[in-house]
């Protein structure tokens, strides 16, 4: 029978695992609400992880490493923005090319750092709260990335639903021609939304290499960028549903590790595939039920202003 300490450790691990997905999917949600489908999230995450780790390892500062990761994600997002928004190329092809570029760059940047290790981001400790049974470490014993992700979620939800900036961004995503006719700079707004998405992807990569697993390994994102893309669809483009989805998929990825330790005779390969199987099943169910609102009407459609 599981005791409180084990349950608390599992819950804390789920929160940590979900944070990477939440950060990456928040940025993609903003980009998609502006009408841009960015399939380069995986590449931006891995570049952020590599640049963040190398910077932190060389400088001895996790803060500098995190800032470098955010800037690296933004830089790669600009490459995508130029192709998909300003040159009006196919967004799917541009996103896939960005991911391939990011994977190659990350492998090159981190090649000489394989096998090294950092002291990861320290967890929060609040006397009397962190030591609470079961929920103490999960709620009050996490690293700073976890709390930043929740603050970002609140900021994105508020901005999209309660501010003029959010209204304009959603208008661009729903009908870019009408937004342009009203005088809104559609391509500029979409570029800023994609850059925000790149910054979040870079931050997610920094969480991976500086906190969750504080070392560098090639392909350490392991498909999390693709799961983040699926989470946006799962959430029906709503921030609070995104939170639920990130924690659900975080739970699947952590629980499959614990199930392997129970010796149930289930092949480890099948258990390792559970997060990705869960992604596919969720998308199929959502497609069948037509859950929630549809995608933004102009999502994935290039905008070319009248000349």
Q: Distance between CA atoms of 298 and 277, rounded to whole angstroms? A: 29
Q: Distance between CA atoms of 193 and 68, rounded to whole angstroms? A: 19
Nearest to 295 by CA among 232, 241, 231, 228: 232
pLDDT in tens, 98-124: 999 999 999 999 999 998 999 999 998
- Average pLDDT on 189-198 reads 98
- pTM (2 d.p.): 0.92
Do 52 and 205 form a contact (C-beta atoms < 8 A)? yes
Would you say residue 83 has pLDDT above 80?
yes
Q: What pLDDT is stored for residue 251 in this prediction?
A: 87
Q: What pLDDT is stored for residue 288 in this prediction?
A: 64
Q: Distance between CA atoms of 203 and 123, rounded to whole angstroms? A: 17
Architecture of domain 4-289: Orthogonal Bundle (1.10)
Tokens of 89: 């190329």
Do 24 and 73 form a contact (C-beta atoms < 8 A)? no
Minimum mean pLDDT range among 14-18, 26-30, 135-139: 135-139
- Average pLDDT on 73-83 reads 98
Nearest to 31 by CA among 115, 91, 87: 91
Do 202 and 73 form a contact (C-beta atoms < 8 A)? yes
Would you say residue 277 has pLDDT above 80?
no
Do 98 and 40 form a contact (C-beta atoms < 8 A)? yes
Mean pLDDT of the chain: 90
Residue predicted with more confidence, 257 or 300:
300
Do 188 and 32 form a contact (C-beta atoms < 8 A)? no
Q: Distance between CA atoms of 137 and 132, rounded to whole angstroms? A: 7
Q: Distance between CA atoms of 93 and 230, rounded to whole angstroms? A: 17
Minimum mean pLDDT range among 22-26, 177-181, 217-221, 275-279: 275-279
Predicted confidence band at 2 (pLDDT cuts at 50, 70, 90)? Answer: low
Can you give the residue ranges of every domain in the chain? 4-289
């Amino acid at each position: 029978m599981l005791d409180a300490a084990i349950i608390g450790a599992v819950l804390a691990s789920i929160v940590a695992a979900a944070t990477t997905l939440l950060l990456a999917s928040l940025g993609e949600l903003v980009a998609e609400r502006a009408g841009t489908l960015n399939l380069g999230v995986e590449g931006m995450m891995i570049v952020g992880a590599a640049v963040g780790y190398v910077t932190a390892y060389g400088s001895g500062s996790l803060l500098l490493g995190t800032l470098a990761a955010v800037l690296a994600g933004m830089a790669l997002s600009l490459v995508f923005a130029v192709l998909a928004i300003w040159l009006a190329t196919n967004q799917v092809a541009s996103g896939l090319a960005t991911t391939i570029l990011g994977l190659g760059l990350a492998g090159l940047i981190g090649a000489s750092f394989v096998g090294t290790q950092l002291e990861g981001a320290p967890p929060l400790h609040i006397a009397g709260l962190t030591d609470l049974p079961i929920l103490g470490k999960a709620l009050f014993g996490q690293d700073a990335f976890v709390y930043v992700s929740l603050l970002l979620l609140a900021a994105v939800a508020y901005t999209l639903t309660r501010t003029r900036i959010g209204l304009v961004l959603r208008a661009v995503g729903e009908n870019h021609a009408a937004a342009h006719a009203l005088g809104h700079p559609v391509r500029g707004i979409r570029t800023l939304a994609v850059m925000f998405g790149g910054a979040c992807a870079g931050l997610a990569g920094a969480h991976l290499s500086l906190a969750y697993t504080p070392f560098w390994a090639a392909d350490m994102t392991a498909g999390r960028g693709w799961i983040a893309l699926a989470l946006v669809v799962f959430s029906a483009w709503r921030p609070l549903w995104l939170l639920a989805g990130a924690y659900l998929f975080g739970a699947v990825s952590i629980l499959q590790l614990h199930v392997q330790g129970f010796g149930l005779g289930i092949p480890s390969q099948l258990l390792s595939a559970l997060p990705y199987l869960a992604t596919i099943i969720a998308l199929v169910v959502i497609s069948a039920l037509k859950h929630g609102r549809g995608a933004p009407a102009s999502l994935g459609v290039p905008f070319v202003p009248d000349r």
